[in-house]
C-alpha cells in the first residue's frame, strides 16, 4: 500500500482522518497516526490556545524514544484568527497542514518555507489545478456526499476524482463518502492515491463528538442527510428539528439574511459537541448509513488495510 | 468479464446502455448490443406505435442467420399508456425489460410469465430490497449524479452501491456518473456486477439526440448540471435559459403548482430532440464533463473493455 501519499507524509497507509470541527482533537488524531494513518487536528473549532494544547498533547502521545509519528492540523482559511493559528502551527513545528475553505495561494509558501507539508481540500478540478500551481504537496478532492461544509458545484466523489486526476499530477486524496474497504478500493480505481475519512472517524470512540450525536448518526437511513443552507455556505446535515426549520425556510424562499438569522451562532458546537439533537447542526456525511457500530480508530484502519 | 449480468442477459460484457428519452432508439440500442453490451430502447419518449416500430427495427438490425442478439426496452412505469406499452412488449417478444419510476410489483410477474428478464431502476437500498422481493432479476442502482429524473434521497453512486450491495443478493448494476474505464472498475470495487451508462451514450454518434444538444453537453464544466424541479420530480439539467428561470423561481420559493406551469409540456423533447438550447430541458448527467469527443457506441464499449 506504500505510495506517494505515504512517502509525502511519512505514514504506513494512505489513510487520512479528516480534521473535523468538534470531533478531531488530539485523542482521535493521535490514535489514527498510531495506527499507521495520518491523524489531523481540526483547528476550525479551536481557540488558538486550545489548538496549541492539542498540538502539544498530540505530539506527546505520538512520541516514543525521541521519535514522533506524523500528525497534522486542518485549518479552514476563513478562520477569523488565521494569523495566530498559523503562527502557532509554525512555532509548534507541526509537520503537516491541510487547508480548506479559501485560497491556497496566501499560506502555502510560508508553510513550505518552514518545512511543512501542505495539502488543500477542493471540490472542483479547476480549483485543484490552482492548488497545484500554488505549490501544495497534495490535493484532497471532496465530493457532494461529504458531511459539513461542501462545494457549490455538487460534484460527487465518483465524478470528481477522475476529473481531478486528469487535471493534476501531484498526489490526490479522495474524500466524501469514503468509509469502507470497498470504497477505499474504488477510490484508488478512480485515480486517487489515498483516502480521507471524515464521517467514520467522527463516529468512532476517540472522536470528541457527544455520544448523543454519535448514536443519532450511526446507521442513518439513506436520505436522512441533506445539503442545506445553500444561500449561505452549503452544509450537509442530518435531519432534526433545526434542519426541518431550514428546509421550511428554504422552501418558502427565505433570503440569505433570514437564513443567517435562523442559523445564528454556535449550532455546530451545540449539535456535535454538546449533543443537542434538536437545535444543533448535525454535520455528517451520507455514508453514516454504513457506519453502524462503536469502534476504535485502530479498528477502522485495520479493517481498511486488511 | 463474464459474470451474472452477462449470463442473465446473454451478453458478452456487463455494460448496459440506459434507455433514455429522446436518445435511445433502435440505432443506438442495436449498436450497443452489436458491440457486446446490452442496448435498451427508451419507451418513455415513444408513442406505442413508434415503440413497436423501434422494436421491430432493432430486432432486424440484431438478427443474422436466424440468431438475434439481446436487446431490451426501458419502461417508466408512470407512462400514461403503460398497458398498451406492455402489451406491445409481450407481443413483440422483447427479451429484456428495464422498469423505472414506479413500483416493480405490478408488472414483474406478468413479464416473467412471458419469459422476459426484468430489471428495475432504484435510488435507495430499501427500494432495491422491495424489487428483490417482487422477483425482479436484477437491480440498477442509480446515484444523484445521473442525468434526468433522479431519486429524492440524493444518495450518490459512491454511497448507494455499497448500501444496495449489502441489502440484496440478486445481480446489481451501477448507474449514475459512470462513463469511463476507471469508473467501470470503481463500480465493480463498490460491489456492482455491471454498469449502466446514460450520458456517454446519449452524446455518442448513434444517439437520436439533436446535434445542438450533444455539442452543448460534451465537456460541460463541473457544476454546469444541477438537480432541479425538486418540488415536482427531481431532474438533473444542464444550465441554460430555462434552468436559470427554474432556479430563480425555486430561490423565491415558488410552489409546485407554479413550477408545473413554468415547466409546461414537451421541454425534454424540445431540448434533447429538437435542439432548443434555450427553452428545452437539457437532461444530462454530471459526468458529461468527461465526455468530450464524438464517438460511436462501439468505440465506447471497446474502450471500457480494453
The complex's ipTM works out to 0.97
Cα–Cα distance between A281 and A239 in angstroms, integer? 9
Q: Is A120 left (phi over 0), alpha (psi -120 to 50) or beta?
A: beta
Cα–Cα distance between B71 and B59 in angstroms, integer? 8
Cβ atoms within 10 Å, residue A170: 16
Are residues B138 and B85 part of one domain?
yes
B71 CA to centre of own chain: 14
Residues of B within 8 A of A303 (CB-CB) are none
B155 closest CB neighbour out of A160, A185, A223: A223
Residue keyed to cell 471497446: B302
Residues of B within 8 A of A152 (CB-CB) are 223
A162 closest CB neighbour out of B156, B183, B231: B183
N residues, chain B = 306
Q: What are phi and psi of B40, to 5 degrees?
A: -120, 135
Averaged confidence pLDDT in chain B: 97
- Interaxial angle between packed helices B48-61 and B26-34, expressed in degrees from 0 to 180 and rounded to the nearest 10: 30
pLDDT at B187: 98
Cα–Cα distance between A147 and A236 in angstroms, integer? 5
Are residues B20 and B108 part of one domain?
yes
Q: State the cell numbers at B123.
A: 435510488
Are residues B250 and B169 part of one domain?
no
Q: What are phi and psi of A35, to 5 degrees?
A: -85, 5
Contact A222 B143 (CB under 8 A): no
Averaged pLDDT, B98-115: 95
Are residues A89 and A46 part of one domain?
yes
Are residues A86 and A28 part of one domain?
yes
Beta strands B235-238; B148-149: pairing state: antiparallel
Cα–Cα distance between B250 and B258 in angstroms, integer? 10
Contact A227 B290 (CB under 8 A): no
Contact A159 B254 (CB under 8 A): no
- Are the CB atoms for B191 and A182 separated by under 8 Å? yes
Residue A25: is it exposed, middle or buried by C-beta count within 10 angstroms (0-12/13-18/19+)? Answer: buried
pLDDT at B2: 83
Q: State the cell numbers at B70.
A: 439481446
Q: State the cell numbers at B65.
A: 442467420
Are residues B198 and B53 part of one domain?
yes
- Are the CB atoms for A301 and A50 separated by under 8 Å? no
Are residues A138 and A255 part of one domain?
no
Cα–Cα distance between B293 and B218 in angstroms, integer? 7
Q: State the cell numbers at B217.
A: 453537453
Are residues B9 and B122 part of one domain?
yes
Contact A177 B156 (CB under 8 A): yes
Domain count, chain B: 2
Q: Give the angle subtended at the CA of A16 by the CAs of A11 and A21, to the nearest 5°.
A: 135
- Write out pLDDT tens, residues B242-256: 999 999 999 999 999
Residue A161 belongs to domain with CATH number: 3.20.20.70
Domain range holding A265?
211-287
pLDDT at B298: 98
Max Cα–Cα distance, chain A, nearest Å: 61
3-class SS of residue B283: strand
Indicate whether B1 pLDDT > 80.
no
Average pLDDT per 10 consecutive residues for chain A, totaling 306 residues: 93 98 98 98 97 98 97 95 97 98 93 98 98 98 97 97 98 98 98 98 98 98 98 98 98 98 98 98 98 98 97
| A97 strand-pairing partners | A73, A118
A186 closest CB neighbour out of B154, B190, B253: B190
Residues of A within 8 A of B176 (CB-CB) are 158
pLDDT at A144: 98
Are residues A200 and A85 part of one domain?
yes
B252 closest CB neighbour out of A145, A188, A253: A253
Beta strands A148-149; A235-238: pairing state: antiparallel
Contact A159 B289 (CB under 8 A): yes
Contact B143 A158 (CB under 8 A): yes
Indicate whether B50 pLDDT > 80.
yes
Are residues B191 and B120 part of one domain?
yes
Are residues B202 and B143 part of one domain?
yes
Are residues A107 and A22 part of one domain?
yes
Contact B125 A222 (CB under 8 A): yes
**Sheet of B148-149, strands arranged across:** B148-149, B235-238, B225-228
For residue A182, give every residue at least 6 positions away whose Cβ sits within 8 Å of its Cβ, in sequence order, or none: B162, B165, B189, B190, B191
- Write out pLDDT tens, residues B111-169: 999 999 999 999 999 999 999 999 999 999 999 999 999 999 999 999 999 999 999 99
Does the CA dihedral A251-A256-A262-A265 come out positive or negative?
Answer: positive
Residues of A within 8 A of B177 (CB-CB) are 156, 158-159
Cα–Cα distance between B186 and A158 in angstroms, integer? 8
Residues of A within 8 A of B126 (CB-CB) are 221-222
Residues of A within 8 A of B287 (CB-CB) are 159
Contact A177 B158 (CB under 8 A): yes
Amino acid at each position: 500500500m506504500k505510495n506517494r501519499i505515504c512517502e509525502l507524509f511519512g505514514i504506513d497507509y494512505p489513510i487520512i482522518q479528516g480534521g473535523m470541527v468538534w470531533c478531531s482533537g488530539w485523542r482521535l488524531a493521535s490514535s489514527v497516526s498510531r495506527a499507521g494513518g495520518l491523524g489531523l487536528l481540526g483547528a476550525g473549532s479551536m481557540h488558538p490556545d486550545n489548538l496549541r494544547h492539542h498540538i502539544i498533547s498530540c505530539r506527546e502521545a505520538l512520541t516514543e524514544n525521541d521519535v514522533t509519528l506524523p500528525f497534522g492540523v486542518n485549518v479552514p482559511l476563513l478562520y477569523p484568527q488565521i494569523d495566530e493559528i498559523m503562527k502557532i502551527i509554525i512555532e509548534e513545528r507541526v509537520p503537516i497542514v491541510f487547508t480548506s475553505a479559501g485560497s491556497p495561494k496566501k499560506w502555502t509558501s510560508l508553510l513550505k518555507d518552514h518545512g511543512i507539508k501542505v495539502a488543500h481540500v477542493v471540490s472542483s478540478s479547476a480549483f485543484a489545478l490552482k492548488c497545484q500551481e500554488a505549490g501544495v504537496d497534495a490535493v484532497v478532492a471532496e465530493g457532494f456526499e461529504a458531511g459539513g461544509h461542501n462545494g457549490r458545484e455538487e460534484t460527487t466523489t465518483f465524478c470528481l476524482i477522475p476529473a481531478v486526476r486528469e487535471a493534476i499530477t501531484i498526489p490526490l486524496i479522495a474524500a466524501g463518502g469514503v468509509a469502507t474497504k470497498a470504497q477505499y478500493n474504488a477510490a484508488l480505481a478512480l485515480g486517487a492515491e489515498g483516502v480521507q475519512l471524515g464521517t467514520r472517524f467522527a463516529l468512532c470512540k476517540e472522536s470528541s463528538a457527544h455520544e448523543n450525536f454519535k448514536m443519532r448518526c450511526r446507521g442513518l437511513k439513506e436520505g436522512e442527510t441533506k445539503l442545506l443552507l445553500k444561500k449561505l455556505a452549503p452544509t450537509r446535515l442530518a435531519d432534526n428539528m433545526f434542519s426541518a426549520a431550514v428546509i421550511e425556510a428554504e422552501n418558502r424562499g427565505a433570503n440569505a439574511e433570514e437564513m443567517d438569522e435562523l442559523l445564528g451562532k454556535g449550532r455546530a458546537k451545540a449539535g456535535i459537541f454538546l449533543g443537542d439533537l434538536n437545535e444543533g447542526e448535525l454535520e455528517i456525511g451520507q455514508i453514516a448509513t454504513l457506519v453502524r457500530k462503536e469502534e476504535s480508530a485502530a479498528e477502522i484502519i485495520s479493517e481498511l488495510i486488511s
